[in-house]
């Protein structure tokens, strides 16, 4: 049994508890909110948290002996501080994406986790998804990979408010914005599959706000020895493009990179001048018998149960490489 303390009562905490509750090892014994009434309402609508104690301070919650692990579902700028507090109190940490605002914070978190011998994992839902795992296991069938292209473009429900001058945490200049909020979903899986790119070029488009320029959409080119990657992300328009891994022997396609519900494999048909037979695809989907957020809690619970301090899928090295790339992309626009 793993007794979680949940930090933050926003919609992401509601979403993940639906999946967490499908793993019988997961219990919620504490909820931490800045506002007692928000915690009460959260407990009221989440049966998994029905018996949870309420805290208004992360330190106090982390000191509770009936808490084994802390889930951090609060805005990016709080991830480092809350993670360090939880680790100091001897608790494992499952922290929302991106792991931190920047690589310097990320390194402090990783060093603290390693020094403590506790588990720290970024809650990157995409790479633990069964359809993504299936595609990751099939890279040899399309190798050598020549191109990775990924899209996450979703018109944000908070964009209208931004236009009126109200800045939601997901748009906040300096700590969030489209790259950290949704671009990371195209970037993290790329690094998980192919490692650190040798070339990074990007364009981030911004809008002016009272707190500075907020990036709202972007594109990037990333170069590897033998392959190219192109990433496209946005919080101000939708796209219905899939994510594709194109290799000399064929293509692997995920319908959506954030949460893939379908995976397809299209073997390269035959050497062709363009007039040859059309390649025939087949679905290789694993299906999603559980809620999309179940898989990150299952991975976390498996690791706690077996005494491991790092996921071999959502590695801390991947989290740090991603943050270093984000730092570089952001520097290009803010100097
Ligand atoms: N995995 C996914 O699919 C997914 C989806 C969306 C977001 N996320 C990630 O989840 C995190 C939260 O994002 P969000 O858009 O849900 O944020 P949000 O709505 O602004 O905040 C979430 C909760 O955090 C608490 N909070 C808000 N501002 C805070 C502050 N300044 N200090 C401390 N706590 C604060 C609030 O809970 P209380 O009122 O109870 O304190 C709030 O309800 C981000 O890191 C984001 O990247 C992940």
For atom 21 of ligand 1, the residue with the nearest CA is 74
Distance CA 328, CA 261 (A): 32
Q: What is the mean pLDDT of residues 264-269?
A: 91
Residue-wise pLDDT for 74-117, tens only, equals 999 999 999 999 999 999 999 999 999 999 999 999 999 999 99
CA quadruple 19, 20, 24, 30: dihedral sign: negative
Q: How far is the CA of 146 from the centre of ligand 1 (A)?
A: 37
Residue-wise pLDDT for 8-50, tens only, equals 999 999 999 999 999 999 999 999 999 999 999 999 999 999 9
Ligand 1 atom closest to the Cα of residue 10 is 43
Q: How far is the CA of 250 from the centre of ligand 1 (A)?
A: 40
207 CB within 6 A, ligand 1: no
Q: How far is the CA of 207 from the centre of ligand 1 (A)?
A: 22
161 CB within 6 A, ligand 1: no
Long-range contacts of 298-301 (CB under 8 A, 24+ apart): 298/23, 298/128, 299/121, 299/128, 300/2, 300/69, 300/92, 300/94, 300/119, 300/121, 301/2, 301/23, 301/25, 301/26
Q: How far is the CA of 115 from the centre of ligand 1 (A)?
A: 27
pLDDT above 80 (res 316): yes
Q: Give the pLDDT band (50/70/90) at residue 178.
A: very high
pLDDT above 80 (res 209): yes
Q: Give the pLDDT band (50/70/90) at residue 272.
A: low
Mutate to test the pocket of ligand 1, among 40, 73, 182, 291 (most ligand atoms within 8 A of CB): 73
Q: What is the mean pLDDT of residues 184-198?
A: 98
Strand, coil or helix: what is 13? helix
Beta strands in 187-318 (DSSP E): 199-209, 212-223, 228-234, 243-247, 250-254, 263-267, 282-283
pLDDT above 60 (res 335): no
Q: Give the pLDDT band (50/70/90) at residue 334.
A: low
Averaged confidence pLDDT in the chain? 96
Ligand 1 atom closest to the Cα of residue 180 is 47
Mutate to test the pocket of ligand 1, among 9, 11, 12, 159 (most ligand atoms within 8 A of CB): 12
- Report, in this order, helix, strand and coil percent for the chain, each rounded to 5: 40, 25, 35
58 CB within 6 A, ligand 1: no
Q: What is the mean pLDDT of residues 142-167?
A: 97
Mutate to test the pocket of ligand 1, among 74, 76, 124 (most ligand atoms within 8 A of CB): 74
For atom 30 of ligand 1, the residue with the nearest CA is 75
pLDDT at residue 147, as a whole number:
98
Mention every residue, 6+ apart, whose C-beta is less than 8 A from residue 253.
242, 243, 244, 245, 263, 264, 265, 266, 281
Q: How far is the CA of 74 from the centre of ligand 1 (A)?
A: 3
pLDDT at residue 287, as a whole number:
83
Residue-wise pLDDT for 284-312, tens only, equals 999 899 999 999 999 999 999 999 999 99
pLDDT above 70 (res 227): yes
Name all domains of the chain by residue range, CATH numbers in brackets: 2-122 (3.40.50.720), 130-287 (3.30.360.10)
Ligand 1 atom closest to the Cα of residue 184 is 47
Q: How far is the CA of 185 from the centre of ligand 1 (A)?
A: 17
36 CB within 6 A, ligand 1: no
Q: Give the pLDDT band (50/70/90) at residue 7.
A: very high
pLDDT at residue 279, as a whole number:
74
CB atoms within 10 A of CB 286: 18
For atom 1 of ligand 1, the residue with the nearest CA is 125
Query: pTM of the entire structure?
Result: 0.97
pLDDT above 70 (res 273): no
Q: What is the mean pLDDT of residues 270-283?
A: 73
pLDDT at residue 333, as a whole number:
76
314 CB within 6 A, ligand 1: no
Q: What is the mean pLDDT of residues 149-173?
A: 97
Residue-wise pLDDT for 40-49, tens only, equals 999 999 999 9
Ligand 1 atom closest to the Cα of residue 176 is 47
pLDDT above 70 (res 261): yes
């Amino acid at each position: 049994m793993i007794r979680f303390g949940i930090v933050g009562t926003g919609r992401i905490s509601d979403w993940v508890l639906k999946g967490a509750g499908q793993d019988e090892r997961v219990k919620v014994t504490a909820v931490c909110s800045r506002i007692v009434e928000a915690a009460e309402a959260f407990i009221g609508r989440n049966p998994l948290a029905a018996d949870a104690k309420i805290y208004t301070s992360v330190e106090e919650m982390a000191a509770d002996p009936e808490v084994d692990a802390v889930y951090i579902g609060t805005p990016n700028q709080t991830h480092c501080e809350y993670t360090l507090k939880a680790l100091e109190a001897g608790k494992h940490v499952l922290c929302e994406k991106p792991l931190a605002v920047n690589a310097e914070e990320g390194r402090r978190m990783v060093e603290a986790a390693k020094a403590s011998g506790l588990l720290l994992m970024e809650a990157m839902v995409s790479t633990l998804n069964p359809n993504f795992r299936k595609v990751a296991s099939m890279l040899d069938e399309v190798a050598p990979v020549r191109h990775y292209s990924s899209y996450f473009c979703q018109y944000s429900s908070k964009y209208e408010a931004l236009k009126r001058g109200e800045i939601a945490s997901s748009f906040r200049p300096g700590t969030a914005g489209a790259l950290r909020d949704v671009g990371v979903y195209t970037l993290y899986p790329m690094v998980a599959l192919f490692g650190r790119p040798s070339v990074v070029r990007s364009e981030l488009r911004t809008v002016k706000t009272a707190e500075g320029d907020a990036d709202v959409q972007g594109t990037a080119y990333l170069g590897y020895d033998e392959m190219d990657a192109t990433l496209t992300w946005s919080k101000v328009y939708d796209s219905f493009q899939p994510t594709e891994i194109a290799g000399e022997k064929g293509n692997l396609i995920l319908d959506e990179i954030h949460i893939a519900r379908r995976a397809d494999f299209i073997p390269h048909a035959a050497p062709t001048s363009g007039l040859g037979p059309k390649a025939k695809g087949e679905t290789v989907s694993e299906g999603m018998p559980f809620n999309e957020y179940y898989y990150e809690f299952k991975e976390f619970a498996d690791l706690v149960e077996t005494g491991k301090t790092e996921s071999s899928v959502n590695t801390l090295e991947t989290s740090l490489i991603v943050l270093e790339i984000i730092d570089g992309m952001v520097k290009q626009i803010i100097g």
